[in-house]
Amino acid sequence: MSVAEPWLLAGRAFTSRLLLGTSRYPDAATLLEAIDASGAEIVTVSIRRMRLQGGTGESILELIPRDRLALLPNTAGCMTAKDAVLTAHLAREALETDWIKLEVIGDDRTLFPDVEQTLRAASELVRDGFQVFAYTNDDPVACRKLADLGVAAVMPLGAPIGSGAGLRNPYNLRIIRELVQDAPVIVDAGIGTASDAARAMELGMDGVLLNTAVAEAQRPAQMARAMRLAIEAGMLARDAGRIPERLYAQASSPTEGLIGT
């Protein structure tokens, strides 16, 4: 399989499997450089933390080239289904998009999702015609329930938001991949470096969404390119079919016909 082969997400075809956040960058120039280096075709923006119009200073919307990048507004900062639904409707009106990355946080220290509120909000938003990208825990049951609701993508965390801890529970991610066959599965949050992104793809994920790992790297654009290459490498390795893991050694050279035998 070619890494450039298009894949479908919310009814649209994309080549890149890296979705990139737009917060925490030191300046606008660095953000744009990182986006270009990443090859991302989808970027996320926080509706509750951005200036949509008016005021002074440059808006994030004025920076992002929307002719070649799809905007994925998110409900970051919401802690109830009611707030998330309201934020999604504001995003649809302001940005003229039915896409929404649903985040409903249950604890402001760990930033773990509130699964009950997430399911409630997802159900309402799907009924309202949104393409819901649902961020949730790495809980196979919760992920299956979200897929059953008809979300556009199920997005289990790799580790807590901004932690850079990598994939803390790859076993659950494998189970999620097995249980969710009818919706894209995208690892969201916790990615720290390129090997984490490669591992996610090797586990069968359809894509990776990350922000802090690039935005707070010492050289963001270089890290963005590393993530791009890692996702391609992980996908290629998965499709190539790895060798089985063995308890004991196995000689790589044939033993027949050796001198002295």
Q: Are 169 and 199 in contact (CB under 8 A)?
A: no
- Per the annotation, does 211 bind a ligand? yes
Assign a CATH topology to domain 7-240: TIM Barrel (3.20.20)
- Per the annotation, does 261 bind a ligand? no
What percentage of the chain exceeds 90 in pLDDT?
Answer: 80
Model pLDDT, residue 61 = 78
Model pLDDT, residue 88 = 97
Lowest mean pLDDT among 37-46, 96-105, 151-160, 249-258: 249-258
Question: E strands along the chain, which residues?
Answer: 7-9, 12-14, 18-21, 42-46, 70-74, 99-102, 131-136, 153-156, 186-188, 207-210
pLDDT tens for 27-71 read 999 999 999 999 999 999 998 766 544 343 457 777 888 889 999
Model pLDDT, residue 3 = 60
- Out of 101, 177, 199, 228, the active site residue is 101
Q: Is 82 a catalytic residue?
A: no
Rounded Cα distance, 226 and 228, in Å: 5
- Per the annotation, does 158 bind a ligand? no
Between helix 194-202 and helix 220-240 the angle, nearest 10°, is 20
Q: Are 60 and 72 in contact (CB under 8 A)?
A: no
Q: Are 210 and 197 in contact (CB under 8 A)?
A: yes
Q: Are 9 and 16 in contact (CB under 8 A)?
A: no
Predicted TM-score of the model (pTM): 0.90
Model pLDDT, residue 259 = 66
Residue ranges in 27-161 assigned as alpha helix (H): 28-38, 60-63, 81-95, 115-127, 140-149
- Per the annotation, does 137 bind a ligand? no
Domain boundaries, the chain: 7-240
CA dihedral 99, 194, 165, 80 (to 10 degrees): 0
- Per the annotation, does 37 bind a ligand? no
